[in-house]
Chain A
């Protein structure tokens, strides 16, 4: 079955710096890769996603890149702010609807003011 590995497990950056979180997946049939942000005690919420027919997607300060050959995808946050502090999860799923979405273990991001 699909396996998603996420690194690092914890990341601490200074406000204004960039943060990069990396994930690898095992099943080459995976075709949808969402990223979720979870603040303490809250529900996970989608922040950006990418499909397998696209190599990069950007939304303001966040971007995601996908390397299908290497089965890697990464989240990039630029100009980090204290409110970016949260746990970030990558995920991979197969098929329309992502019926079986496999999540990474999460990265706890601390942005120091």
Chain B
């Protein structure tokens, strides 16, 4: 049981480049989330997927797109990276729907945009 996994662990992009961050969970959770973490600002929700087939915007969705590929996988895409998107990105999941609301986080992706 690997929990929540993310790839890659580190990435350096040039301004304007695109990339996709991958996330997968093997806990049969219904809901998945993407957060970014910046110094002194805690975790901010980018997008979430309450259940397979649905996605919704969080606090800071501009510049990002997401895909809930299936129940296990939730990807985050940066179409044209900007230096302001330099951050640590965390994927998370939880059971939702009446179960515990605890969110389980992946190990994070450290992204630098030059």
A interface, CB within 8 angstroms of B: 1, 6, 9, 32, 34, 42-46, 49, 89, 91, 93, 96-106
Contacts and interface: CB of A to CB of B under 8 A. Distances in A.
Nearest to A45: B105
A97 B29 CA distance: 11
A103 B56 contact: no
Contacts, number: 65
Contacts of B104: 46
A74 to B, nearest CB: 17
6 contacts: A34-B101, A44-B105, A46-B103, A49-B101, A99-B96, A100-B45
Interface stretch (B11-19, B35-43, B69-77, B79-87): B35-43
Contacts of A105: 40-42
Given A43-B90, A43-B106, A44-B90, A96 B43 contact: no
Contacts of B50: 97, 99
Contact of B102 (A42, A49, A104): A49
Nearest to B51: A97
A42 B106 CA distance: 9
Contact of B43 (A32, A44, A100): A44
